[in-house]
């Protein structure tokens, strides 16, 4: 009779693809705006955040 089509999460593939990229080190870095002064380092730094996995990195100027 009817066909059983299991097609629930069409976007899961794209998400996995992004995660794979992140795991490979290819993050989608976006500049985080805010206070660029890092107290720990005691100098100006640029903050980046991955829009896919949420990883954060700082880069000293
Ligand atoms: Zn990432």
Per-residue model confidence (pLDDT) at position 46? 84
Neighbours of ion ligand 1 (CB under 5 A): 22, 27, 50, 52-53, 55
33 alpha carbon to ligand 1 midpoint, in Å? 18
58 alpha carbon to ligand 1 midpoint, in Å? 14
60 alpha carbon to ligand 1 midpoint, in Å? 20
**Domain extents for the chain?**
27-61
21 alpha carbon to ligand 1 midpoint, in Å? 7
Per-residue model confidence (pLDDT) at position 42? 73
| Full-model pTM | 0.57
> pLDDT for 35-56, tens place per residue?
666 666 677 788 899 999 999 9
List all residues 6 or more positions away from 40 whose beta carbon is below 8 Å from its beta carbon.
Answer: none
């Amino acid at each position: 009779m009817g066909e059983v089509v299991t097609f629930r999460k069409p976007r899961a593939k794209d998400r996995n693809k992004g995660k794979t990229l992140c795991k490979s080190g290819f993050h989608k870095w976006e500049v985080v705006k805010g206070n660029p002064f890092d107290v720990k380092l005691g100098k100006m730094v640029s903050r980046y955040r991955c829009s896919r996995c949420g990883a954060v990195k700082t880069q000293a100027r």
